[in-house]
């Protein structure tokens, strides 16, 4: 359903010709040169800009003696994710904290923005969720290779004993490939399914019937962002195991 | 127990008897024109949601009982509960994804 959102039309009017020009230099062809930026990408950029402005504004107001309300909330979020990482990865995992907080707030805000009447969730598009999942996949593999070395990391695929390696390697590879698939499909189906339910209920009884589902959607937006971050932390802890005796 | 078995077998026989019009379908009625294809996604989704509900209920029961047994570990149990519920939920969502794609 090609609903034209005011924000993506605005962005296409402003940046459309530049994108078509740059795309022409790179050899890309657009299906509709009047609107080269898809609405999911436009809303993704909106979420990114909103987050950057919010964190920049909050950083200027940070203070130890008299913290503001938003500082309290963000402290709860940051300390909560940090304690979660400590319990799953260990204290040496603190360097992965900024990635997870930015991923979590990005996914949360982009899930939430779909509830605003004339905006669309970028995560209601499989391409955006697949992008987030692929980033997590590449990131945890890169961390594993960097922490343990390429050969040592690949040895984990062979299982505990070398004799069952021909059985374990396809199973391990398949389960590793299933991870970004399940991450992206989980987030996409949750958010897109919520949007579909809201659309159907709006068709039945416009301003009243969707309200309980929208309040549930706020909760599931938070939950899905939380679970995405938790699974990313668990995958990193599995990849960067620090030579302890692990039961595969 | 015997009464329950008798009732269920009666329902089964009646159900099979009511399904006999399905043999009246001719050979050419396959593909999107059959009326069953309208309700097939709904059946699949209903089955997936029902089994997902059963699985999640087992997880919730285990979590509630373990919290009541050991209230100090509530935070840790809550973490496992949320993680388990979301993983089970995603299985039902794979079915929804297939329905949305086709």
The answer to whether the CB atoms of B100 and A185 lie below 8 A apart is no
Query: In angstroms, rounded to a whole number, what is the distance separating the alpha carbons of residues B62 and B74?
Result: 12
Using N-to-C axis directions, what is the helix angle for B74-101 and B36-69, rounded to 10°? 180
List the single best residue of B48, B97, B99 to mutate versus A (max A Cβ within 10 A): B97
Task: Give A22's Cβ-side CA count (13 Å radius).
Answer: 6
pLDDT of residue B25 exceeding 60: no
Q: How many CA atoms lie within 13 A of A142 on its CB side?
A: 8
The larger pLDDT score, comparing residue A27 to residue B67, is at: B67
Which structure tokens are listed for A80?
A: 């909560």
B96 → chain A, closest CA residue: A189
Mean pLDDT of B34-40: 85
Which architecture characterizes domain B37-102 according to CATH? Up-down Bundle (1.20)
Task: Give the separation between CA B42 and CA A76, rounded to whole angstroms.
Answer: 42
Which residues in A lie closer than 8 A to residue B89 (C-beta atoms)? 186, 190
Q: Where are the domains of chain B?
A: 37-102
Q: DSSP class of residue A233?
A: H
Query: Domain coordinates of chain A in residue numbers?
Result: 1-37, 40-239
Stated pTM of the model: 0.83
pLDDT tens for chain A, 248 residues: list them: 456 788 888 888 888 888 888 888 887 777 777 788 888 999 999 999 999 999 999 988 887 878 888 889 999 999 999 999 998 888 888 899 999 999 999 999 999 999 998 899 999 999 999 999 999 999 999 999 988 888 888 888 877 777 888 888 888 899 999 999 999 999 999 999 999 999 999 999 988 999 999 999 999 999 999 999 999 999 999 888 765 544 44
CA distance B81 to B87: 10
Which pLDDT score, from 0 to 100, does residue B77 have?
Answer: 93
Please indicate whether, in this complex, the C-beta atoms of B86 and A227 are within 8 angstroms of each other. Answer: yes
| pLDDT on residue B15 | 78
> Taking CB atoms and an 8 Å cut-off, how many pairs form between chains A and B?
34
Mean pLDDT confidence for B23-32: 55
Residue B101, pLDDT above cutoff 90: no
Question: pLDDT at residue B32 above 90?
Answer: no
């Amino acid at each position: 359903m090609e609903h034209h959102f005011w924000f993506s039309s605005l962005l296409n009017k402003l940046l459309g010709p530049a994108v078509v020009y740059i795309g022409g230099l790179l050899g890309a062809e657009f299906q509709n040169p009047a609107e080269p930026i898809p609405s999911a990408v436009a809303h993704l950029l909106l979420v990114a800009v909103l987050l950057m402005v919010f964190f920049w504004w909050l950083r200027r107001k940070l203070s130890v003696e008299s913290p503001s309300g938003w500082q309290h909330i963000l402290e709860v979020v940051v300390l909560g994710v940090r304690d979660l990482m400590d319990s799953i990865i260990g204290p040496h995992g603190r360097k992965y904290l900024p990635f997870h907080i930015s991923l979590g707030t990005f996914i949360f805000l982009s899930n939430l923005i779909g509830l605003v009447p004339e905006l669309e969730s970028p995560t209601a598009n499989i391409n955006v969720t697949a992008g987030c999942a692929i980033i997590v996949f590449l990131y945890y593999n890169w961390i594993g290779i960097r922490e343990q070395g390429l050969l040592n990391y690949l040895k984990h695929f062979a299982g505990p004993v070398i004799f069952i390696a021909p059985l374990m390697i396809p199973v391990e590879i398949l389960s590793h490939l299933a991870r970004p698939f399940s991450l992206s499909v989980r987030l996409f189906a949750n958010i897109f399914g919520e949007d579909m339910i809201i659309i159907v209920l709006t068709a039945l009884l416009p301003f009243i019937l969707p309200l309980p589902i929208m309040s549930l959607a706020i909760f599931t937006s938070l939950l899905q962002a939380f679970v995405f971050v938790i699974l990313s932390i668990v995958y990193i802890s599995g990849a960067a195991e620090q030579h302890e005796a692990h039961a595969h | 127990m015997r009464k329950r078995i008798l009732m269920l077998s009666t329902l089964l026989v009646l159900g099979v008897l009511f399904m006999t019009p399905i043999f009246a379908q001719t050979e050419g009625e396959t593909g999107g024109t059959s009326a069953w294809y309208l309700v097939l996604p709904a059946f699949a989704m209903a089955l997936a949601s029902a089994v997902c509900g059963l699985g999640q209920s087992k997880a919730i029961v285990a979590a509630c009982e373990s919290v009541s047994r050991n209230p100090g570990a509530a935070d840790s149990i809550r973490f496992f509960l949320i993680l388990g519920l979301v993983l089970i939920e995603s299985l039902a969502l794979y079915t929804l994804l297939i329905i949305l794609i086709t």
